[in-house]
């Protein structure tokens, strides 16, 4: 159940509370991505310490490894990975997009060739919901088709039709106790398709709604436009989730457009290359300019990495390929994302979000490395 607590006077931003079997989630919220039952380079204790309320897992990847038999024996995903807070599971629909070279779309689902050994597997609405029921996630996503951003109108039309048909089938499947199901709106950059898809999904009465088919290679203005096309047709009393987004400045702007929930692989993905997020943008710690820089990654940050270590030390670790280096940058980046959401909630509560938004976006300058990583179709979720 989603509880709308307050709306912003200067934008469509919302302060809310999402109730799940494993706890209450304050929104807007960022969900660290734990595709394969682990947020890369970060352990559950660290996630709890930095304020993570909910994490994301992936149906396709967990179905392949470790497999349903092991997960069922373990008592579900929460027990398997020792995480007692809420979990949202992606249905595998994103893999229909990201693994296009090894799949065939059929009327009732998608035939894949395993990206590991080439063995055949089938994933459709029934299969995706069954897997998520075994996983026992608090929020399960419907199985959808995510088309490329530059797909021709005919393909976008077909993807919307399949997404709607599959959503209805997902709606009819049994669930784990207390499990909520969110539907995913598709339609590319075509306004009438977005509107149609949203209205028909809302008529099916799901527990929440996601805006899918964004951050799949399109320019940022087009991404924002797709969200703006969809949001007016989503009910105010249900949670809204944009999938796979985004940079810190993008998330601030999307909160202002009425979005409540986010997930993104960027904090840990770019950390593995030594790129750190700060409130003013990103920089590569591996650069020579930081060889004798004994400041923390970000002045004023209270994450473990910034409290204890310097840029010079972390740069050294990264350049000699010590695992601790990428772990520390991953900790800082994830903490920065979660802290940003906490600040947004505080400003929404205080009625000062408009001022915060203007100042944050004006001072934030992303680097080309991060924008390239966002556009990269690397299947991490």
User: Which domains, ranges and CATH numbers included, belong to the chain?
Assistant: 2-263 (3.20.20.105), 272-363 (no CATH)
Q: Which whole number is the average pLDDT over 286-298?
A: 97
Reported confidence tier of residue 374, pLDDT bands at 50, 70, 90:
low
Question: Which pLDDT tens digit goes with each residue over 62-104?
Answer: 999 999 999 999 999 999 999 999 999 999 888 877 888 888 9
d(CA 44, CA 42): 7
Average pLDDT, the chain: 94
pLDDT at res. 215: 87
Distance of CA 24 to the CA centre of its chain: 18
- Other residues' Cβ atoms within 10 Å of the Cβ of residue 345: 21
Reported confidence tier of residue 214, pLDDT bands at 50, 70, 90:
very high
The CA radius of gyration of the chain, in Å to the nearest whole number, is: 20
d(CA 52, CA 45): 10
| Strand segments (E) across the chain | 2-7, 14-20, 23-27, 29-32, 55-58, 87-90, 103-106, 109-113, 120-123, 139-141, 180-185, 208-211, 239-242, 261-264, 275-278, 281-284
Please pick, among 90, 138, 207, 260, the residue that the annotation labels catalytic: 90
379 is catalytic: no
User: Would the pTM of this model clear 0.85, i.e. be above it?
Assistant: yes
* Pairing of the two strands 275-278 and 55-58: unpaired
pLDDT at res. 377: 44
Q: Which whole number is the average pLDDT over 6-35?
A: 98
d(CA 121, CA 303): 42
Q: Contact at 8 Å (CB) between 28 and 341?
A: yes
Q: Which whole number is the average pLDDT over 19-46?
A: 98
d(CA 127, CA 143): 9
Question: Which pLDDT tens digit goes with each residue over 356-367?
Answer: 999 999 999 977
26 is catalytic: no
Task: Measure the CA angle with vertex 244, ends 141 and 36; round to 5°.
Answer: 65
The tokens for 110 are 């998608």
d(CA 168, CA 170): 5
Please pick, among 8, 138, 207, 263, the residue that the annotation labels catalytic: 263
Least confident of 32-46, 116-130, 250-264: 116-130
Reported confidence tier of residue 378, pLDDT bands at 50, 70, 90:
very low
Q: Contact at 8 Å (CB) between 159 and 151?
A: yes
pLDDT over 50 (residue 176): yes
Best CA proximity match to 133, nearest among 85, 163, 89:
89
């Amino acid at each position: 159940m989603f509880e709308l607590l307050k709306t912003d006077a200067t934008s469509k931003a919302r302060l809310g509370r999402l109730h799940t079997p494993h706890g209450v989630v304050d929104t807007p919220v960022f969900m660290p991505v734990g595709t394969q039952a682990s947020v890369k380079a970060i352990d559950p204790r660290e996630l709890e310490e930095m304020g993570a309320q909910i994490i994301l897992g992936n149906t396709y990847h967990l179905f392949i490894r470790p497999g349903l038999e092991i997960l069922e024996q373990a008592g579900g995903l929460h027990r398997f990975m020792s995480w007692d807070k809420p979990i949202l599971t992606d249905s595998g629909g994103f893999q229909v997009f990201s693994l296009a070279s090894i799949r065939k779309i059929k009327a009732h689902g998608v035939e894949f060739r395993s990206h590991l050994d080439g063995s055949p597997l089938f994933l459709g609405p029934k299969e995706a919901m069954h897997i998520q029921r075994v996983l026992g996630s608090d929020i399960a996503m419907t199985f959808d088709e995510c088309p490329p951003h530059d797909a021709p109108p005919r393909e976008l039309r077909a993807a919307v039709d399949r997404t709607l048909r599959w959503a209805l089938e997902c709606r009819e499947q049994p669930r784990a106790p207390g499990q909520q199901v969110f539907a995913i709106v598709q339609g590319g950059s075509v306004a009438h398709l977005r509107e149609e898809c949203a209205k028909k999904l809302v008529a099916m009465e799901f527990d929440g709604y996601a805006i899918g088919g964004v951050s799949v290679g399109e320019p940022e203005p087009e991404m924002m436009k797709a969200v703006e096309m969809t949001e007016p047709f989503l009910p105010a009393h249900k949670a809204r989730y944009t999938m796979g987004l985004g940079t810190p400045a993008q998330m601030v702007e999307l909160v202002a457009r009425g979005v409540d929930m986010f997930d993104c692989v960027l904090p840990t993905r770019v950390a593995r290359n030594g790129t750190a997020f700060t409130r003013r943008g990103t920089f590569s710690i591996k650069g020579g300019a930081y060889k004798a820089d004994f400041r923390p990654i970000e002045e004023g940050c209270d994450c473990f990495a910034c409290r204890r270590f310097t840029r010079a030390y972390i740069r050294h670790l990264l350049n000699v390929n010590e695992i601790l280096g990428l772990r520390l940058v991953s900790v800082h980046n994830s903490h920065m994302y979660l802290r940003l959401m906490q600040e947004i909630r505080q400003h929404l509560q205080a009625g000062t979000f408009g001022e915060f938004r203007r100042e944050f976006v004006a001072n934030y300058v992303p680097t080309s490395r991060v924008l390239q990583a966002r556009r990269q179709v690397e299947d991490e979720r």
